[in-house]
Amino acid sequence: MKPKFTYAIRPRLPEKLAFLGELAGNIWWEWHYDAIDLFRRISRHRWAESRGNPCHVLLHVEQERLNYLSREEGFLNHMQRVREAFNAYLTEPRWFQRVHGNRSDVRIAYFSAEYGLSSALPIYSGGLGILSGDHLKTASDMGLPLVAIGMAYRLGYFHQYLNIDGWQQERYDENDFYNLPMQKVLDDAGDWLTIDIPYLTRPVKVAIWRVNVGRVPLYLMSTNLPENRPEDRVITDQLYGGDKEMRIRQEIVLGIGGMVLLRRLGIKPTVYHMNEGHSAFMGLERVRLQMGEHNLDFNTAFEATYSNDCFTTHTPVPAGNDVFSLDALRKYLGPLATELALDWQKFAELGQGSDIAGSNDYCMTIAAIKTASCVNGVSRLHAHVSRGMWQQLWPELPRDEVPIRAVTNGIHLYSWISHDLASLLDRYIGPAWHDDPLLPELWNRIYEIPDEELWRTHERRRARLVAFARARLESQLAARGASIEEITGASEVLNPEALSIGFARRFATYKRGNLLFRDLERLKRLCADRDRPVQFLYAGKAHPRDDEGKKVIREIIHQAREEHLRFRVVFLEDYDIIVARYLVQGCDIWLNTPRRPQEASGTSGMKAVANGALHMSILDGWWDQAYHKDYGWAIGSGEEYDDIDYQDEVEGHAIYDLLEREAVPLFFKRSVAGIPREWVGMMKRSMANLIPRFSSHRMLFNYIDEAYLPADAANRELTADGYKRSRDLAGWRARVDANWKAVQIVNIEASQLDELIVGDRLQVRATVNTGKLSAADVRVEVFSGPVDSRRGFQNPQGTEMQLDPAGNGEHPVFVATLIAPQSGYFGFTVRVMPKHPDLRHKFAAYYLTWANGDE
């Protein structure tokens, strides 16, 4: 029997405490310690049982307690202090307003499948979601006019627990949205706002929730409505759940539904950012809307939307990209192709062009790349890897010129730095680091912190981590059905004074969570050393369908039961934001062992470094560009292997060599006062140099300068005067498409090709047959640089050649002058590509013609 009606009864907030309800409804409290302390002060028990959810605290706290607090002067003073900080944060000009003025005409729409904002809002799985959450928090801190779009997952991502054999099990807990920091969005009549999602083969209604992230609104969509069919209500049940067809439906809701939602809310962004390919249908829906609203053809509308779509790719491995069969896709998006006036083959080609998607497949990453003028990877190395993965989209282009740039990820410092360390930084650096953490001179003040204070602060956090790990291990052993002896022994695991090494991340096989266990004898010696004890803390989830990843977890559990390891190696279940914070704030070394180059970025290491941990990692992801011997350790020298067993052997030994010969002796080298001064010196150098470089403020600055503002400006130019320049650009591209095959380089001449002296000038002339195109339609470049023994270019550069006004032959002649830069063996060739002033980058037309290499 189920109730016909349901309703919630909340305690009545006394008038003096009314602000608490407003504060609980804005996740601003998540990264402001004073606000967290305020809610914890109401009821520590309710705060702990809710995993830090103030809405739960206010819903379940006793009425008598609230009545008492409304009269308690200390609490009221604390609340007033938080209220003043909160109101100032929401109303005072932030960085964007101070620098760019009141640009109310700029608005960024940010689409992501997951957001890791708080443990109280479990709609994230891992690194992608945490990055999205940090993106929103930083946008709020900077005053960036941004609105975010996502999904309200009823079951979120799974909770992990291990059975008695150490095999991962999944449990899905239902999210009670009425008890989370989110609110229903209401329409003008005061009813819950719903929208209708097209292309799901039948009408599906979506209800809208709002999460306030400081100054940034995050809108979440849910199909869990009684008026929907049961099979439609579950579309927004699980993050990354279901089969391929379910994923198509989810991504239609995210990308196309997100656009429907923005229009329903009356929000008109000027820039659109797809965080990963899950929302790639958004780009096509934008084209459809532009066609209908402005009576445009497909090509004109595409040029306009392409100009201000941005895309961030996060995966460096082919398997990480969503690929759907065309048959499954056509079932849903056949009507969209018709509305776009595209035959199905043309529609399918928008998601094809690489071996990752076959002739009967559609790749969401390719679709996002083809519909976005600004594409980036999330670290310097990852951008290089991505250029290789997607080079087939520009088959004539050298890998290093594929137009995928790097915007390296960063972390929201105030969300991840411990309260203890933040207070220490406030005393010695000043509070300016909260809002403007990029000033190098600011972080140089870290050297003014006395070694004793920094070390004692870090020791307190390590002791707190050990206490947390013991309590968590005891509860998970009891739930697993372990023996009384094992459960009792949990209170004795780990040593608060031991060198603590953390490894926490998704348990995919390429991350090699079990690498240390290849040499059990060396591991046992490290853990059994009473004079210089070392311990390891593991955490992380394998994807529910990744049995190989689950085997890695089980291996760690089994090995950790060994006599010399069971008190020094622990695995903490159900890795989430809470576990992550304890680990990155309390570990001494953060270990990362991916197979290079399969780590896109790796922000957990950034979080640990910001808390004073030293990083020990393969040179992959962010560490490839961050590593310096003064900041941590590199495992290997950036080698890549074909034989992975040999790689594991070599790099496993390298870790033990670093630990035994460098890290462990350095950690236990103490002064008379018991301070490892050389270790603390490395902590300071690491923090001073890496924190400003890998903060999310720097990341947002990169996006604003390199993507958002240029995209906004380009779109304004293309859409002005009734889309005149979009129409012109579309017409020009049609002419290029029809005539490019006739373009060829007829002749190349050089002033001299004998031996040159450094500083000599070499004039190059190229005659180009442009066919029915004009000289203004092409960009001719001399492509030059050092040449190796195989006649391959090394770090070449393209120099644009200018039209020779004196040329009077049948075809235009282009000239350029090269200066011999240094001694060595050099070479050049000539290439031609389409040119138009409104192309967002010089390879946006895709065509490229090279001179014959034997000329």
Q: Percentage of the chain with pLDDT > 70?
A: 100
Residue 8 has a pLDDT of 66
Q: pLDDT tens for residues 127-136? A: 999 999 999 9
Mean pLDDT of 144-161: 96
CA distances from 469 to 409, 463, 472, 514 (A): 29, 10, 5, 20
Residue closest to 843 by CA, chosen among 350, 271, 375:
375
Joined together, the tokens standing for residue 191 give: 């009813």
As beta bridge partners, residue 219 has 149, 210
Joined together, the tokens standing for residue 39 give: 């809610």
pTM, to two decimals? 0.96
Residue 690 has a pLDDT of 97
Residues 6+ apart with CB under 8 A from 853: 829
Rounded CA-CA distance 268/262 in Å is: 7
Rounded CA-CA distance 10/58 in Å is: 8
Q: Is 373:357 a contact under the CB 8 Å cutoff?
A: no
What's the half-sphere exposure (Cβ side, CA atoms, 13 Å) at 268? Answer: 7
Binning pLDDT at 50, 70 and 90, where does residue 853 land? Answer: low
Residue 855 has pLDDT above 50, yes or no: no
CA distances from 784 to 136, 743, 816 (A): 43, 21, 11
452-491: b (≥16 Cβ within 10 Å) or e? eebbebbebbbebbbebbbebbbebbeebebeeebbebbe
Rounded CA-CA distance 213/16 in Å is: 24
Give the three-class secondary structure for 423: helix
Residue 467 has a pLDDT of 97
Residue closest to 236 by CA, chosen among 151, 111, 172, 124:
151
Q: Determine the Cα angle at 241 with ends 382 and 204, to 5°.
A: 115
Mean pLDDT of 604-628: 98
Residue 531 has a pLDDT of 95
Residues 6+ apart with CB under 8 A from 390: 354, 365, 366, 369, 402, 404
Q: Is 600:382 a contact under the CB 8 Å cutoff?
A: yes
Residue 752 has a pLDDT of 80
Q: pLDDT tens for residues 318-363? A: 888 999 999 999 999 999 999 999 999 999 999 999 998 888 999 9
Q: pLDDT tens for residues 4-39? A: 777 767 778 999 999 999 999 999 999 999 999 999
Q: Is 181:54 a contact under the CB 8 Å cutoff?
A: yes
Q: pLDDT tens for residues 404-433? A: 999 999 999 999 999 999 999 999 999 989
Cα dihedral 141/142/146/150 (nearest 10): -40
Mean pLDDT of 640-662: 96
């190989």: which residue's tokens? 548
Binning pLDDT at 50, 70 and 90, where does residue 619 land? Answer: very high
Q: Is 278:113 a contact under the CB 8 Å cutoff?
A: yes
What is the arrangement of strands in the sheet containing 778-786, beginning at the earlier edge strand? 797-800, 778-786, 826-834, 849-850
Residue 854 has a pLDDT of 45
Residue 607 has a pLDDT of 98
Residue 77 has pLDDT above 60, yes or no: yes
Mean pLDDT of 442-452: 96
Q: pLDDT tens for residues 525-578? A: 999 999 999 999 999 999 999 999 999 999 999 999 998 898 999 999 999 999
Neighbours of 816 (CB within 10 A): 19
As beta bridge partners, residue 182 has none
DSSP label of 704: I
Alpha-carbon torsion 835, 840, 841, 846, what sign? negative
Mean pLDDT of 367-393: 97
Question: What does the mean pLDDT of the chain come to?
Answer: 95
Element (H, E) at 168: strand 168-171
Say how many residues make up the chain.
855
Joined together, the tokens standing for residue 252 give: 């239609």
Residue 439 has a pLDDT of 81
Q: pLDDT tens for residues 458-501? A: 999 999 999 999 999 999 989 888 888 888 889 999 999 999 99
- How far out from the chain centre does Cα 136 lie? 11
Residue closest to 364 by CA, chosen among 301, 322, 326:
322
Q: Is 234:252 a contact under the CB 8 Å cutoff?
A: no
Mean pLDDT of 263-287: 98
Query: Nearest 5°: phi and psi at 64?
Result: -60, -35
Residue 456 has pLDDT above 80, yes or no: yes
Cα dihedral 343/347/349/352 (nearest 10): -150
Residue 237 has pLDDT above 70, yes or no: yes
Residue 4 has a pLDDT of 76
Rounded CA-CA distance 181/59 in Å is: 12
Rounded CA-CA distance 200/222 in Å is: 14
Joined together, the tokens standing for residue 545 give: 């369908």
Rounded CA-CA distance 477/486 in Å is: 7
